[in-house]
Amino acid sequence: MDRREVLKLLSVSSVPFFLPTQLLPAFREIHAGLPAGPALKAFNAHQDATVTAMADLILPATETPGAKAVRVDEFIDLIVAVWFLDEERARFLAGLADVDQRTQNLFERNFVDASSEQQSEILRSLGDDMAAEANTLAGGPRGYRGSLPQPEDNFYFMLRQLVLVGYFTSEAGFTQQLHEEIIPGRFDGCVPAASSTPAKSA
């Protein structure tokens, strides 16, 4: 499976539970291969801080680690650096810049410097825009009815997909949240039931 197929699957899967089995080792390998210390490839320090803050709002720490704790930002940085085409990478980075511009317009500060309430308001605004785009597509020509925004068209949609996949394929997400059951086991309807000893009549 090549990188284009992987990105297409990310664009249409709302949660990682339905990722094909062959993708799981690849994403798990990315986590396992992250260096001991930060070694950014696509993001600068400010962009990384923005992705980290957004990811931790999407999946905050509760009784289990949040996105920041499992290094989702570094996972996303590697995907953007290695798997994205140049124009896709530029578009993603422009999306991050737009997050700062939105925050500056409303609160006169960058996203990472805003309060948690202000950051949440920005994410709601991004989510509203994403929903409006999906509704526009749904109301378009028949061939597009029901379509979802594509990764190259909507920054926030792709960011959320990457956060979810990055989190749930991490060690903590995989073992603590999904209990190592991302894809249900095979159902064999014709397998005979295990034999059992009939109960004696009263």
Exposure of 94 in the CB half-sphere (CA atoms within 13 A): 9
Domain count, the chain: 1
Q: Are 179 and 71 in contact (CB under 8 A)?
A: no
Residue 186 lies in a domain: no
Helix (H, G, I), strand (E, B) or coil at 132: helix
Domain assignment present for residue 64? The answer is yes
Let me know: does 79 contact 30? Beta carbons within 8 Å.
Answer: yes
What are the tokens at 100? 């700062």
Is 159 part of a structural domain of the chain?
yes
- pLDDT above 50 (res 137): yes
In a domain, 188, yes or no: no
Q: In the predicted model, is pLDDT for residue 70 greater than 50?
A: yes
Q: How confident is the model at residue 82 (pLDDT cuts 50, 70, 90)?
A: confident
- Range of lowest pLDDT (96-100, 150-154, 178-182): 178-182
Is 183 within the bounds of a domain? Answer: no
Is the per-residue pLDDT at 10 higher than 50? Answer: yes
Q: What is the mean pLDDT of the chain?
A: 77
Assess if residue 84 is contained within a domain. yes
SS3 call for 66: coil
Higher-confidence residue: 189 or 70? 70
In this structure, the number of other CB atoms found within 10 A of the CB of residue 18 comes to: 12
154 falls within a domain: yes
Q: What is the pLDDT of residue 75?
A: 93
198 belongs to a structural domain: no
Report which of 7, 149, 164 is spatially closest to residue 89, judged by C-alpha positions: 7
Per the structure, the complete domain to which residue 122 belongs is given by 7-177
Of 58, 67, 7, 70, the closest CA to residue 34 belongs to: 70
53-78 residues labelled b (16+ CB within 10 A) or e (exposed): bbbbbbbeeeeebbbbebbbbbbbbb
